[in-house]
Amino acid sequence: MSSSIKVVSKLLSERIQARTAMVGVVGLGYVGLPLAVEFVNAGFSVTGIDVQASKVANLNAGCSYIQDVPTEIVHQHVESGRLRATGDFSVIAGLDTVNIAVPTPLRKTKDPDMTFVVAAAEEVAKYLHPGMLIILESTTYPGTTEEVLLPMFEQGGLKVGKDFFLCFSPERIDPGNAHYQTHNIPKVVGGITPQCTELGALFYSQALDTVVPVSSTSVAEMVKLLENTFRMINIGLVNEMTMMCDRLGINIWEVIDAAATKPFGFMPFYPGPGLGGHCIPIDPFYLSWKSKQAGVEARFIDLAGQINGQMPRFVVNKVQNALNSQAKPLLGAHVHIAGVAYKREIDDLRESPALDIILLLEQKGAHVTYSDPFIPSIRLNRHSLSSVNLEEVVAVADCVIIVTDHKAFDYEFLVDNARLIVDTRNALKSYHSRKIVRL
């Protein structure tokens, strides 16, 4: 290592260890805000930067808008002067580290939409200065950090591994998970150079329990895609098994529970109304896009995508058949959806299968209402719906579909009072009634 690299990295490493390094987080959403809070918990001063003025204002007012981050903590940190937010990227000039956690959605064509990452990186590049550590956390295809970000950052003449340090570290947060949160989920980090990895690992180890260094940014990018593709494909497999079991008259839930008693070589995955959230339905397509460019078809991903994509229609067919068996047509029926968030106990509607189910039901002429204690209203193609009290509609609806098994729902009341229930989550596992139709 040359002496100038040594000096730059030594200074940064000293500032990190003394916790005097000024930390920045670009993108203050589900990933960025918890991360910012962890670094303040560890004793750093953190500046969050977001283009959404309401998030900046909320944070500076000491209010949390992310369910897993308590407002009391945000309030305390803002009051202490160690956490603040801004929409002004020029603050980067005074920061030592910057984590980028902006959205990575898909285009309609299922190609990666890199506009948010590129926009954030352009701002970081403007204020890049010697001695800085930059870590991309947004889930993306392997090669992004090296092929997209690095050239942007080196354009001004600074050299990676010498003047500044660049890493990728996948975020593995699981919103709504009370046990595993940012601080105790092992953090994988890979840098462009070994020095980058070392500084990235040192940085995270100040605030997080376990750090797992890997040899490159591409390995770190691929780790996240393996994890999420693994989930997506296994859910696809179990969803396909569900369709088979439906034809064969076998209860898939009982099959999975019994299979899960095998103490080795099996891991249970559960069927559902379709994939949701900002990760599992999206991330694997980042990988398939990249692998197609390299001449390799991602066949498992494409197949699982097709199967999982059929689930909302499968649910609607179940509703239609169940109503038919009661001599009630779906056309004109009142169908009530219990839960629209993409999973239980969270307020995230992104990519939720409930939205597809509602649209399909409406296309077939059903009158649809919904209840969700976490989501007061939803915007559909041409209209909006507001959440209604489940207890008030249960008895009047022709069918209730449990799409999201929130704990707040009174399942006993539901079973006692509903005319027909289609349960896509096995929330009524312990109930036996002819009016329950399971996935």
Report which secondary-structure segment, H or E, holds 274. Answer: none
Q: What is the DSSP string of 39-69?
A: HHHTT-EEEEE-S-HHHHHHHHTT---STTS
Among 36, 46, 102, 354, binds ligand NAD (CB under 6 A): 102
Which residues, listed in sequence order, are joined to residue 144 by a DSSP beta bridge? none
Rounded to the nearest whole angstrom, what is the least distance from the CB of residue 254 to ligand NAD in the complex?
31
What residue is closest to ligand NAD based on CB? 29
Q: Which of residues 362-381 bind ligand NAD (CB under 6 A)?
A: none
> Does 279 sit near ligand NAD (CB under 6 A)?
yes
Among 27, 190, 213, 353, binds ligand NAD (CB under 6 A): 27
Residue carrying the six token digits 């870590």: 135
- Where helices occur in 128-216 by DSSP H, the ranges are 144, 150-154, 194-205
Among 97, 139, 320, 387, binds ligand NAD (CB under 6 A): 139
Burial grade of 257 (CB within 10 A; 0-12, 13-18, 19 or more): middle
> Does 425 sit near ligand NAD (CB under 6 A)?
no
Rounded to the nearest whole angstrom, what is the least distance from the CB of residue 305 to ligand NAD in the complex?
17
By CB under 6 A, which span of 21-29, 157-165, 320-328, 368-376 interacts with ligand NAD? 21-29
Known catalytic residue at 399: no
> Does 176 sit near ligand NAD (CB under 6 A)?
no
Torsion of CA 232, 237, 241, 244, to 10 degrees: 100
CA distances to 324, 340, 347, 401, 414 from 420, rounded to whole Å, are: 11, 19, 26, 9, 10
Which of 51/241 has CB closer to ligand NAD? 51
> Does 345 sit near ligand NAD (CB under 6 A)?
no
Among 32, 161, 271, 272, binds ligand NAD (CB under 6 A): 32
By CB under 6 A, which span of 8-16, 30-38, 154-162, 266-274 interacts with ligand NAD? 30-38
Which of 227/257 has CB closer to ligand NAD? 227
CB 80 within 8 A of CB 70: no
Say which of 167, 245, 279, 399 is annotated catalytic: 279
Question: Could you give the CA distance from residue 435 to residue 418 in angstroms, rounded to a whole number?
Answer: 8
Rounded to the nearest whole angstrom, what is the least distance from the CB of residue 102 to ligand NAD in the complex?
4
Helix (H, G, I), strand (E, B) or coil at 205: helix
Rounded to the nearest whole angstrom, what is the least distance from the CB of residue 124 to ligand NAD in the complex?
9
> Does 30 sit near ligand NAD (CB under 6 A)?
yes
Which of 153/411 has CB closer to ligand NAD? 153
Rounded to the nearest whole angstrom, what is the least distance from the CB of residue 220 to ligand NAD in the complex?
13
Among 38, 96, 171, 221, binds ligand NAD (CB under 6 A): 171
Question: Could you give the CA distance from residue 267 to residue 8 in angstroms, rounded to a whole number?
Answer: 46
3-state secondary structure string, 289-309?
HHHHHCCCCCHHHHHHHHHHH
106 Cβ neighbours under 8 A, 6+ residues apart? 112, 113, 282, 285, 286
Interface with ligand NAD (CB under 6 A): 26-32, 49-52, 55, 101-104, 116, 119-120, 137-139, 171, 173, 175, 278-279
Active site residues: 279
